[in-house]
Structure 1
Amino acid sequence: MALAAGLFAAAPALAQPAQDLVIGMPVASVANLDPHGATTNVQGILQVNAQIFEPLVNFVDGEYVPALATEWSANEDATRWTIKLREGVSFSDGSSLDAEDVRASMQRVVELAGPLAGLFKPLSIEIVSPSELVISSEVGQGALLGKLFMLAIAPSEKLGDDFGLNPVGTGPFVVDAFDPSQGVTLKANPGYWRGAPKLDSVTFRMIPEQAARTTALETGEIQLTWTLPDDQVATLSENPDLVVDTVTTMANIVLWFNSDRPAFADVEVRRALWSAIDFDTIIEALYPNTGSKMEGPLPATVFGASKQTPYVYDADAARAVLEAKGWDFDGTTVGVLMNNTTYKPLVDALLADWARIGVKGEVDLQEPAVGTKRLLDLDWDIAIVQPVITNTGDADYNLGRLYTCAANRTTYCDETLDALLTEAGAISDQARRAELYAEAGKIIWDNAVGMFPMDVKQVWAWSAALEGVRLDAVYKPDLTQIHFTK
């Protein structure tokens, strides 16, 4: 009988893999975790805070979907929005989410005067009940959902000067350890309203050096990273222990023409200069994994994006147009203003294409502070803006912010374009807004306000032992479903 009992004894349970993820971040430090102040949109902080805090709405696959808000509606002119909050949601400190937390979070963004303050300054909040509020504005807020996507909700009673070092949110993770120069360790929030994440912990390690980050991935010191360069993709893809994939982001590379300069005042000249550049070949050669040719002035992932008629590369035709327009091939040298070298290979390649038809050009590289000042002062021939990130996911944050006469960011001014952008930003009918942005995009594209070569793609790589990785187009990665299988 003893032998029989031994035969039927329960086998020892197989050891389950540890659920502790280490992410290699392509940044040098994370100064603080305040979601409302000056560092709100800083890469690194944005990704960590996406695990701690949540907005009222999320932006997924080009659509705004419920998060801490479950319902919303607006009047026709979008001056009054009614928002209903999700009930039964608690912050990680145990306090309950209510409308006062939304009001306090929005007010704090405005008071701290960070990069998002302008989005919320025109708004006022009326609390109807703990789970319902009304957001009002004298000016229509057709793009309000995109703005709410950027608003991290925090408990009103916890907000203070040291909140960035002691953050509390409703998100799937909570802070376990934080060293600004080394990294952040988060642990799972067991009371998360969607259900606890599959990971027990996530550590964000700061590894700004690309070679060191790649080595750490290959040796298993980290198990996930992103923003990898093109020249690493082939090698990493051959590693059977890794998975490599790309995602199109909400960022694009833009080269604006200064149409106040006599050389660029004629739209036919601007179009010819664009058509003289073989962007297809340049992108394929330099950015096969981190870029894709743009089809309009907005990233393809953004609400309001539309496909426009492509500019066809034709160097001979471009030269003929420039000759007919009296381009001074000997006396004109086009400067391309840059404030960093990230996309200098792109600029070098386009200057080489221009040189083939006799157009002289040069890189006008400035240190960041000087380059930014000159960009804002309109002191440039052509300016490469690298990249333009449509943080809200809505065309209003890109076209409506940069291409109006009042903004005067590109020197181009068109009353018809202004009217389209104004109407699109001030109505609640989202289908009509998309139509208006398509019309506005056509004006910007056809008039060659700038050259729009490339949407930015992001390369991710992770351990093959992971499942549940969801590529992130909006710089707010969802880590809730990631887990180790071995």
Structure 2
Amino acid sequence: MKSSKHVLKLVFCLALLASLMIACVAAPVAPAADTMAADSSMAEGPKMGGVVAGFVSSDPKSFDPAAIAGWDQGVIAPNLLEGLFRLSPDGREIEPAIAESFEVSEDGKTWTFNLRSGAKFHNGREITAYDFKYSFERVLNPETRSPKAWMLSIIVGAEAFQDGSADEVSGIRVVDAGTLEIELAEPLAPFKAMLASINLAVVPQEEVEKWGEDFGQNVVAAGPFSLGEWNLNQDVTLNAFEDYWNGRPYLDAVMFRFIGDENTRIVELDAGRLDMAWVPPAHWERFSTDPVYKEKLGWAETFHTDFIVVNLDNEPFGTNAKLRQAVRYALDLDAIIASLQGRANVAQGLLPPGLLGYNEDAMLNYPTNLDSAKALMAEAGFADGVPGTFDVILPPWGNLIKLLEIYQANLKEIGINIEIKPTEFGPYMEALESGSYDLAWMYRVTDYADPDGFYYPLMHSDNLGAGGNYARYANADVDANIATARATIDDAERARLYQEVDAQFAEDLPYIPLTHNIYVDVSTPRVQNYVPSPMDTHMFHRVWVTE
């Protein structure tokens, strides 16, 4: 009987791990393998010391794991934050972090984590199971207003805790200081992937209480780097954490400069004030042909989909599916991809290539076709165009604005007038969460390496508004299929359920899919062992520099 129990545990764990397998899809114009070979500096091996200067678009404002929701935060935070699991630097594997080992019960509901002895917070205190209980309950606490509370809502007792009828989450149990037990209401296939999310990183209660509302600007956590000097709207420095459980980083520090303009980043790279930059289309030919820099191009076919969010509560787009379909027919996505030198793929749905359930043969059946778009406009009651002008809110990124101008011209051809409204991150997210918008450009990089990271937050009615369902989409059949897929460990069945969701999505179009991004950046020759991540979580623990 003991042997049977272990076999069942092994089968369940293997099934879960299989659901997390991520296929690698080659970029269409990636450098040949020989150009990516390690140079002599790489062959010499790691070196201690030095500082790397990276970038994000704007000041992240907060690194509180419970509050992280934006790209700028997500790029930096994995170097500061850590939980039970973590992603590998290339973003394609889930590695043990503070959980040295774990077991799953035969019914798939009870997870037991054995914590790593000696793992410490940045303040020097050893991490215990009590810290995880506190951190998870903090994410679930309505007063925290965490946009990622839904990731833990399946834990037994979460609902009672959130509605105030219980003062703790009964399903999060401290067995002893080194052992944590979590009981789920039902099996959850992507649970391990979720636990690798930076939003579920562990934090010390005493530091949260010490800093109060300012904790996000003074975060104390458990990652390989600790928070250093932060110059508002200029830069932030992360310092190597000497007592990191997996060994001190090779680098002394990483500085992230806040530079929104893509061309300015290239100027700073050329001047030696940045060590890496995203490669804008205007600079692609230069870097791809330079004998030095072409070998320092970093490629990642990202788990990223960008789309136009439609507020389904607002007329006319939100209440008229044919009008949304007409929009998709009108968009010239081939022109967008050409403007990016092929560094993107047309999105046929929400799910990007490389995740379970992605079907390369699935088509939205909305190819660029102005005649079809105009016919649908007529069916929607707008044969002569839609009266008025509608704002499309978006982050203030220079190259993105240029892409939106292409969409703007496309829609004008069918009688839809939009105004492009670049909006700073805070007001932009506030508008999405509160529903005070008609149309918005948005992208999603999954919080965890599983299709559930797209479907559940974006389409399930449990997450309307701040939970991630910014379109405010609600469909009982879609809800049921997503819920069943979450509790199913059979990959083929999960894929089938997601394809049913895709079929309904193609009809309703609460989000109008645009492209899947292929991220390309360039680093200076001194930077070694850096790889960009398909989840935009660029990590520097194993990076070093040669001077």
Give the TM bin, normalised by the shorter chain: 0.7 to 0.9
How far the C-alpha of 1:106 sits from its partner, in A, is 1.8
Please say if residues 276 and 314 of structure 1, whose CA atoms lie closer than 8 Å, have aligned partners that are also in contact.
yes
Distance 2:99 2:226 in 1: 21
Q: Which residue of 1 aligns with 2:534?
A: 473
Distance 1:93 1:269 in 2: 55
Distance 2:276 2:103 in 1: 39
Please say if residues 54 and 254 of structure 2, whose CA atoms lie closer than 8 Å, have aligned partners that are also in contact.
no
With structure 1 as the length reference, what TM-score do the two structures score? 0.79
Distance 1:149 1:134 in 2: 16
Please say if residues 223 and 462 of structure 1, whose CA atoms lie closer than 8 Å, have aligned partners that are also in contact.
yes
With structure 2 as the length reference, what TM-score do the two structures score? 0.72
Please say if residues 307 and 514 of structure 2, whose CA atoms lie closer than 8 Å, have aligned partners that are also in contact.
yes
Unpaired runs of 5+ residues, structure 1, are 1-13
1:336-366 CA-partner distances (Å, limit 9, x unpaired): 541136544444434544555xx21111445
How far the C-alpha of 1:467 sits from its partner, in A, is 1.7
Q: Does 1:309 align with 2:363?
A: yes
Q: Which residue of 1 aligns with 2:24?
A: none
RMSD: 3.8
Distance 2:230 2:412 in 1: 52
Distance 1:49 1:326 in 2: 45
Distance 2:481 2:110 in 1: 21
TM-aligned CA distance change 1:77 to 1:389, over 3 Å: farther
Q: Does 1:394 align with 2:450?
A: yes
Distance 1:74 1:90 in 2: 25
Q: Which residue of 2 aligns with 1:127?
A: 174
Q: Does 1:113 align with 2:108?
A: no
Q: Does 1:274 align with 2:313?
A: no
Task: Note the 1:362-441 alignment, pairs <5 A.
Answer: 362-366=417-421, 368=423, 369=427, 373=431, 376-377=434-435, 380=438, 383-405=439-461, 407=464, 409-410=470-471, 413-427=474-488, 432-441=493-502
Tell me, what secondary structure is at the counterpart of 1:254? Answer: strand
Distance 2:187 2:47 in 1: 52
Q: Does 1:47 align with 2:101?
A: no
Task: Note the 1:83-482 alignment, pairs <5 A.
Answer: 83-111=113-141, 112-120=144-152, 122=158, 124-138=171-185, 141-150=188-197, 151-162=200-211, 163-164=215-216, 166-226=218-278, 228-242=279-293, 243-256=296-309, 270-271=324-325, 273-285=327-339, 287-288=340-341, 291-302=344-355, 304-307=357-360, 308-309=362-363, 311=365, 313=367, 315=369, 318=372, 321-322=375-376, 325=379, 328-330=382-384, 332-333=386-387, 337-340=391-394, 342=397, 343-354=400-411, 356=413, 359-366=414-421, 368=423, 369=427, 373=431, 376-377=434-435, 380=438, 383-405=439-461, 407=464, 409-410=470-471, 413-427=474-488, 432-482=493-543
Decide which structure has the larger Cα Rg and report it.
1
How far the C-alpha of 1:471 sits from its partner, in A, is 1.0
Tell me, what secondary structure is at the counterpart of 2:506? Answer: helix
Tell me, what secondary structure is at the counterpart of 1:398? Answer: helix
Q: Which residue of 2 aligns with 1:11?
A: none
Distance 1:159 1:379 in 2: 34
Tell me, what secondary structure is at the counterpart of 1:161? Answer: helix
Distance 1:186 1:259 in 2: 41
1:437-471 CA-partner distances (Å, limit 9, x unpaired): 23312321355444311123433221022220111
1:19-45 CA-partner distances (Å, limit 9, x unpaired): 312323234435454334x4x334444
1:2-30 CA-partner distances (Å, limit 9, x unpaired): xxxxxxxxxxxx9x988312323234435
Please say if residues 71 and 84 of structure 1, whose CA atoms lie closer than 8 Å, have aligned partners that are also in contact.
yes
Distance 2:457 2:228 in 1: 38
Tell me, what secondary structure is at the counterpart of 2:304? Answer: strand
How far the C-alpha of 1:420 sits from its partner, in A, is 0.3
Tell me, what secondary structure is at the counterpart of 1:349? Answer: helix
TM-aligned CA distance change 1:104 to 1:375, over 3 Å: closer
Distance 1:481 1:100 in 2: 29
Distance 1:334 1:264 in 2: 15
TM-aligned CA distance change 1:219 to 1:265, over 3 Å: closer
Distance 1:42 1:390 in 2: 12
Amino acid of the residue matched to residue 332 of structure 2?
Answer: D
Distance 1:190 1:118 in 2: 34
Please say if residues 374 and 383 of structure 2, whose CA atoms lie closer than 8 Å, have aligned partners that are also in contact.
no
Amino acid of the residue matched to residue 415 of structure 2?
Answer: K
Aligned-pair identity (%): 23
1:137-182 CA-partner distances (Å, limit 9, x unpaired): 4466444334322311234554433354554433222345444454
Tell me, what secondary structure is at the counterpart of 2:303? Answer: strand
Amino acid of the residue matched to residue 249 of structure 1?
Answer: T
TM-aligned CA distance change 1:171 to 1:403, over 3 Å: closer
Distance 1:312 1:339 in 2: 24
